[in-house]
Amino acid sequence: MRWPDPLSAIGRAARLMVGMPDYDVYAAHRRAHHPGEPVMSRREFHRERTERRYGGGPDRIGRCC
């Protein structure tokens, strides 16, 4: 098993603490467990995760709380 370098691990942990999953982990999972199915681009992934967390779409209410 190959251990990640400390800076990458710290960055990954920081992103998870603020609720932003890691794209590279997502892409590796999709390729390994769902071959033949499409993998979202990095931009699509972040947009989808942000909308899932904060809401999105035409019926979205524009407010902070």
Tell me the per-residue pLDDT of 7-49, one tens digit each, with 9 for 90 and over.
Answer: 888 887 887 777 677 888 899 999 999 999 999 999 999 888 8
d(C-alpha 10, C-alpha 3), whole Å? 13
* H and E: helices and strands count for the chain: 3, 0
Domain presence at residue 65: no
Q: For residue 14, give its domain range.
A: 6-52
User: Residue 56 above 80 pLDDT?
Assistant: no
Domain presence at residue 38: yes
Domain presence at residue 57: no
- The distance of Cα 63 from the centroid of its chain, to the nearest Å, equals 23
Supply the pTM of this predicted model. 0.62
**Number of structural domains found in the chain:** 1
Domain presence at residue 41: yes
Please give the structure tokens belonging to residue 43: 């931009």
How far, CA to CA in Å, does 34 sit from each of 13, 18, 28, 39, 58? 25, 27, 10, 9, 30
Domain presence at residue 22: yes
